[in-house]
Every structure is written in C-alpha cells, then in structure tokens.
C-alpha cells in the first residue's frame, strides 16, 4: 500500500485532530493541518515511523520551515512543498493582498481511486477542500468543482508535473493560482 501525506498550515490546528484520511486497497492518504512548524515536525516524525515516505507541504510553508520539517522526517522521507509558475505567482500575490478568509483546494492523485473522493478541513482562515483523484480527467473535473465551491487557490500533489499542472490550469481557465508539489521548471 502506498502511503502519502499532505500537510498544510492552519492557525491553532493540531495534525492529530485536524485531518482527513482516505484509504483504499492501493493507497492511504492523510491530509493534516498544523498550526506551528514544531507540530508539523513532530507529526512527520510519527508518519515516517508508520512508513509514510512521501509527504507534500502546502506552499504556505517557507523554505526554512521546509528544511526543518525535512530534517525532522529523516533521510528516508521525500518532502516537497507546493510551488507556483509565473502566472500562478502573479495571481497568488494579488490573493495574498486580500484580508478575506481564503478557501483553499488540494487535489491529490492516488492509486486505486474509482470515483473522485471529496473532504473538507475547517480552519479559521478558510476551509480546505480536498479531492483525491485517479487521473487527469478526474483532476480537471475536481478543479472545476472547486471553482464552483469558491476556492481561491488550488495546490496539487507531486504527481502533477508541468504538463499535468497546465492541464488543470486550462480546466479552470487560469481563474485561480494553481501550485504543484511536482517538478516545475520556473517556480517561487
């Protein structure tokens, strides 16, 4: 079974109590929110001990925070954070200038998914809508659904490289910033 985790920031949140879990025969995905970097560090240590070797972080984490969390997880664990291409950065800067609560979207690709799965994490700064998908067609539909639910930005798991990121951006007609934990050639 492939184990994967996505960690985001949420003021006052504890990963053990502010999380979602998706499981099927092929995949176990945990999406958790941490209020402090120290909480994220402790959480990834625990995940590493449970065999989670692929962990993605929201782009809300700074590079120094990514470094601290990576060190805490250990050498066996691959940790990346969401990055944005130039178009996404321009939209992200406009969004960050706003003081309104922001609903965020996360799309994760996992093995063994038949029908796209949806969940919500509640946080003070805005809800986080999570969708777990099988492939690009489901990811594109998930992104459009998130727009209908008024998300302000979307972050993608590392499976989404430049080409897959572009497919999602085109599906939402470049309406919101879209970042990916996958490989990007130009990023923030």
Q: What is the pLDDT of residues 10-65, one digit of tens each?
A: 888 899 889 999 999 999 999 999 999 999 999 999 999 999 999 999 998 999 99
Exposure string (b/e) for 101-131, b if CB count within 10 Å is 16 or more? ebbbbbbbbbeebeebbbbebebebbbbbbb
Give the CB-side neighbour count of residue 39, counting CA atoms within 13 A: 18
Domain ranges of the chain: 2-180
* Rounded (10°) angle between helices 63-73 and 37-49: 30
Q: Any idea which of 3-12, 40-49, 77-86, 178-187 has the lowest mean pLDDT? A: 178-187
3-state secondary structure of 17: coil
Q: What is the pLDDT of residues 52-68, one digit of tens each?
A: 999 999 998 999 999 99
55, with CB counted inside 10 A (0-12, 13-18, 19+), is buried
């Amino acid at each position: 079974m492939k184990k994967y985790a996505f960690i985001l920031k949420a003021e006052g949140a504890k990963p053990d109590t502010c999380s979602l879990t998706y499981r099927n025969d092929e995949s176990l995905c945990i999406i958790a929110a941490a209020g402090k970097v120290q909480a994220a560090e402790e959480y990834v240590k625990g995940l590493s001990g449970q065999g989670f070797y692929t962990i993605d972080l929201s782009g809300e984490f700074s590079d120094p925070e990514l470094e601290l969390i990576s060190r805490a997880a250990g050498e066996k664990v691959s940790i990346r954070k969401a990055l944005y291409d130039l178009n996404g950065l321009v939209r992200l800067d406009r969004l960050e200038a706003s003081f309104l609560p922001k609903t965020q979207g996360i799309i994760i690709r996992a093995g063994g998914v038949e029908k796209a799965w949806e969940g919500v994490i509640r946080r003070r700064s805005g809800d986080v809508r999570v969708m777990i998908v099988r492939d690009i067609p489901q990811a594109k539909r998930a992104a459009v659904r998130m727009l209908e639910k008024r998300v302000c930005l979307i972050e993608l798991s590392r499976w989404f490289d430049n080409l897959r990121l572009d497919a999602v951006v085109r599906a939402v007609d470049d309406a919101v910033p879209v970042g990916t934990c996958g490989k990007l050639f130009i990023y923030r």
